[in-house]
Amino acid sequence: MKSKNILVVSTIILLSILLSACSSTLYSSTGWHGLTASTDTVYLAAGAQIYAVDLNTGSEKWRYPAKANSKIAFYANPVLTSDGQLVVPSYDHKLYSLNPATGSENWIFAGSTNRLIGSPLVTEKMIYQPSSDEHLYAVDLTGKQIWVQQTGGPLWAKPATDPNCGCVYIASMDHMVYSFDAATGKQLWKSADLGGALVSTPAVSTNGVLFVGTFGKEMIALDTTNGTIRWRFTTQNWVWSGPVLENNVLYFGDLSGYLYALNASDGTALWRIQPQNSIVDTPVITGDKMYFTTEADTLFIVSTAGDIVSSKVIGGIIYSSPVVVGETVLVAPTGFNALLVALTLDGNQKWTYTPAK
**Span 275-315, pLDDT tens digits:** 988 998 899 999 999 999 988 899 999 999 999 999 999 99
Q: What pLDDT was estimated at residue 164?
A: 83
Please, what is the average pLDDT of the chain? 91
User: Which domains does the chain carry?
Assistant: 3-21+28-284 (2.130.10.10), 285-357 (2.40.10.480)
With residue 304 as reference, give the H or E element that holds it: none
Asked if the peptide bond before residue 243 counts as cis, ω within 30 degrees of 0, the response is no
* Overall pTM > 0.85: yes
Strand, coil or helix: what is 330? strand
Instruction: State pLDDT tens for residues 161-193.
Output: 987 889 999 999 999 999 999 999 999 999 999
* Tally of CB atoms within 10 A around 82: 10
Cα dihedral 104, 51, 255, 115 sign: negative
The secondary structure of residue 242, as a DSSP letter, is P
